[in-house]
Structure 1
Amino acid sequence: MSKYSDLIQATAERMLDLMKQGTIPWRRPWNDPDAPKNGSINGPWNPTSGKSYRGSNTLILLGAQMAHGYNDNRWLTYRQAESIGAQVKRGEKGQQIAYWDFSKAGKAKDGAEPLTEGEEKSGYQGPSVFVATVFNASQIDGMPEPPPPFVMPESIRNLRVRELLDRHQPKVHHDGGNRAFYSVAADSIHLPKHHTFRDDVSYQATLLHELAHWTGAKHRLDRDQTGRFGSQDYAKEELVAELSSLFISERLGIGLGRQHEEQHAGYLQSWMRALEDDAKCLFRAASQAEKVMTFLDIPAFEREPLPQVKKEQGMDQRRKAEADRRSPSRRKERQVA
């Protein structure tokens, strides 16, 4: 098995273990004191680039944070830690993630004829996938204190949602009774009355979840939406919408609160069965959710990257971190902690 296949299998096993505990493993329960607050942009990100992790890597790192109890959401490679004058602690084990090289994707393999409409893509090569190891900031000495979570002002968040709806013009009807759903036949979103939601954030989270379903129409992203309620196909489409909600919430600061959690906890058993049958289903759903982000034109949030340090300066900082780690007073401090 390739390293990427091993990563897929290991991720599926971790997610299944967390699901068996009754946990949706890519987000903290609404009543967890460490759960992101409404408006906060709090997903895994790389402090040396300032960029948020995306797609399946978001799920991998959120699952790792939950499994190991990390409250810091910064992740970086060994060399990236060195580049900012920090040092991975001795004996720490990193988390593998995947990254892709798209430079040759879509080009014909040797001897393959150019594609014509309707032909299979077997003659073309996809992106190359590699596996990298990253470490959580709490596993690294010499890291600066994390910046406070960026909080999206309510007025800006509401404006972003309105702009999103104005740009795509979905048909939205507030006639769903106590249900929220997307009608494939009518190509329309149906919601309960606005005042029946706990708050504006709960309303927005539900609306954007159904908007994710809306993107799956044949003339948009063309996902299979023929599954009946309770079927595996239905559960897989719900998983795409769930992950889309997660990615949207991380980009717009829309908290997925108690109401959203209660509505979607019932899918845990179906998602567990899907993962047991096909370890790749979570990665596929994450990839499709990223396509939803691209279609809706919701850019990933970026922060100011940390400054790089000169090699000599970085070596001095690493020596100091190593000395601190070895000093009796430092060892005593760690034992007390």
Structure 2
Amino acid sequence: MAIKKDMLVEKYIEALESGTIPWEKGWTTTRLHNPITGTTYTGINRIWLTFASYLKGYKDSRWFTFNEISNEKKFHPGEKWHLKKGAEGVEIKKKSIYYNEVEDKWYNSKQYYKKLATLNDVEKEIFKDECKVIGDGKGSYYIFNADEIEGIASEQIIEVDSMTVEKMQTIIENMGVGYEEVMQDKSFYSPELDAVITPPKERFKDEAAYFKTLLHELSHATGHANRLNRDLSGEPGSMSYAKEELRADIGAAFLMADFGLEFDESHVQNHLAYIQSWAEVLKNDKNVLLEAVKDAEMINDYILEMSKERQLTLTQTMEYSALDINEYHVELHGCDEGIDYTVFDNTYRSVDGGIIELNAEDTLLMNDFVEFIANERLNIDFTNYECKKADYEELMEKVETMCLLDEEYARSFNVDQMGYYVSEIFDNGEVVLDAHEDYRMFFTKDEAEMLSKELPMSHVTDNSEFVEILKSNIVNGLQTQSEVNEIYKKPDIEVLKNLKIDKPQINKTMTFGRGR
């Protein structure tokens, strides 16, 4: 008999009604995974498999499909695997993929919900409308735990990145959330202060209890507008308050497992006040659990990222990475000679690059790297600088976009011998001159030459700065290229009505602001 998702939801509700927190059951310190495909189970699938492990008493963290178990030649040569009699598979959900037709961009489930978390309610609806679901996530398949397989080798336990006081301090500092210890009996997160308040560390039963409490409160803190942007306005006793407690507690449970922290009865006692409200919420709407787990997975990912030291270490084997250092952007990666890097300015144009020689066994601290490019290469004062890891793909996309825009609008920077900016020269010899960001005029070549004699060069405004602003807007997503073209290429109809070059025409041009 297979273990279906609906059965697990019902058992979740039963567990809550009996005073048990189901997402605290069955955790291992190794992420549940499929070692053949390299898949690590996340979100709702992680919940299902964890709870199923609790119900069945599984101790192994490995899971496989029936095809992988039965196909010895392809998946486990030399090992004859057989499912035990009466083995039960667990139904898990297929992941959806989303295509945004406006952006012409693909999102996996994690990327899709991470994007939604950064948007307000109106923007969320627009984004959802723009996205087409490829594989609606409604499909499912069954997988089996390694404890149900005969002939399989024992699992090699992977050590977890254990929680320490120093790591917890790193999370708090990287999140930018306030933290204060106060002589009191309760812990909480204050959205108004954006601060976590706890009793003194010494008042907790042990260090693990202190860590668990902080992870729960920091899970709430991820909802701040500057982080994952959730609604934290619910009052105690309200449905929205219960939902926030639900997502934060599941998120903290994910984190506790990832940091090797054991669950104990004290954690259940601390949340007795919420257990019945959670059961009521799930009975009214079973989809609440799915939504809470999606949010919990984002909480998990966010805090895991915040647990990493910001002092990066550069090595010869490092993958392609990106940094933001004040207004500069850096792309770097390891190579045979050491560290290959390129520095881009705030317009995403290359200003420096090269290779820093580094032996295979050596490392370079990020601070030393910043000092090198600041003092040795760019002669910039980086006494006070902020360096943070950036999205490599996003950086290179902006660099490529600016490169293409430079080619597209290259004509804007070609100054002819008369001192005007020539935007276009048509096949019939007609010339388009740009002298200001708001007004353009079309002239024949003869008319342009006549105008150059009548109007001194000093009266013509350079439009290159305006064009740079427009290109920057395109790269940073503030305007589309079609919108910019409307601004930049649209001729001034009133001026076009009179192409004769005479004194009134010149005066009109001056009045419109084309001259200085």
TM over 0.5: yes
Which of 148, 151, 157 is the aligned partner of 1:142?
151
Say whether the 8 Å CA contact 1:227–1:233 is kept in structure 2.
yes
Note the C-alpha offset of 1:294.
3.0
Aligned to 1:252: 259
Aligned to 1:62: 50
DSSP-derived class of the 2:230 partner: coil
Deviations 1:267-288 (A, max 9, x none): 2111110110111111111100
Larger strand fraction of residues: 2
Aligned-residue CA RMSD (Å): 2.9
DSSP-derived class of the 1:273 partner: helix
Deviations 1:274-332 (A, max 9, x none): 110111111111100111133334499xxxxxxxxxxxxxxxxxxxxxxxxxxxxxxxx
Aligned to 1:320: none
Say whether the 8 Å CA contact 1:109–1:124 is kept in structure 2.
no
Q: CA distance change for structure 1 residues 109 and 299 in 2, over 3 Å: closer, same or farther?
A: closer
Aligned to 1:31: none
1-structure distance, mates of 2:272, 2:34: 30
Deviates more, 1:62-71 or 1:123-132: 123-132
Q: Would you say 1:99 and 2:94 are equivalent positions?
A: yes
Which has the higher Rg, Structure 1 or Structure 2?
Answer: 2
Aligned to 1:10: 7
Say whether the 8 Å CA contact 2:187–2:197 is kept in structure 1.
yes
2-structure distance, mates of 1:205, 1:288: 19
Note the C-alpha offset of 1:165.
2.1
DSSP-derived class of the 1:190 partner: strand
2:12 maps to amino acid: M
Aligned to 2:433: none
Deviates more, 1:132-141 or 1:252-261: 252-261
Note the C-alpha offset of 1:140.
1.4
Which of 194, 203, 212 is the aligned partner of 2:210?
203
Structure ranking higher on relative contact order (CA contacts 8 Å, 6+ apart): 1
**In the TM superposition, what are the counterparts of 1:130-169 in structure 2 within 5 Å?**
130-148=139-157, 150=159, 152=161, 157-169=164-176
Aligned to 2:18: 21
1-structure distance, mates of 2:32, 2:24: 12
2-structure distance, mates of 1:135, 1:299: 33
Deviations 1:127-180 (A, max 9, x none): 5313121111121122211234635556xx444323222322210111261111
Which of 196, 199, 215 is the aligned partner of 1:192?
199
Aligned to 1:75: 63
2-structure distance, mates of 1:265, 1:52: 31
Note the C-alpha offset of 1:43.
4.3
2:17 maps to amino acid: K
Say whether the 8 Å CA contact 1:189–1:211 is kept in structure 2.
yes
Q: CA distance change for structure 1 residues 257 and 49 in 2, over 3 Å: closer, same or farther?
A: farther
Deviations 1:33-80 (A, max 9, x none): xx77xxx72443323345532111111112212222323332221123
DSSP-derived class of the 1:97 partner: strand
| Structure 2 unaligned blocks of 5 or more | 105-121, 308-516
**In the TM superposition, what are the counterparts of 1:172-191 in structure 2 within 5 Å?**
172-175=179-182, 177-191=184-198
2-structure distance, mates of 1:299, 1:88: 41
Write out the 4+ residue segments of structure 1 that deviate beyond 6 Å after TM superposition. none
2-structure distance, mates of 1:77, 1:183: 45
Q: CA distance change for structure 1 residues 153 and 235 in 2, over 3 Å: closer, same or farther?
A: closer
| TM-score, scaled relative to structure 2 | 0.49
Which of 27, 46, 52 is the aligned partner of 2:34?
46
Say whether the 8 Å CA contact 1:8–1:280 is kept in structure 2.
no
Say whether the 8 Å CA contact 1:8–1:279 is kept in structure 2.
no
2-structure distance, mates of 1:267, 1:87: 43
| Structure 1 unaligned blocks of 5 or more | 1-5, 29-34, 111-116, 301-337
2:65 maps to amino acid: T
Say whether the 8 Å CA contact 2:242–2:278 is kept in structure 1.
yes
1:17 maps to amino acid: E
Aligned to 2:443: none
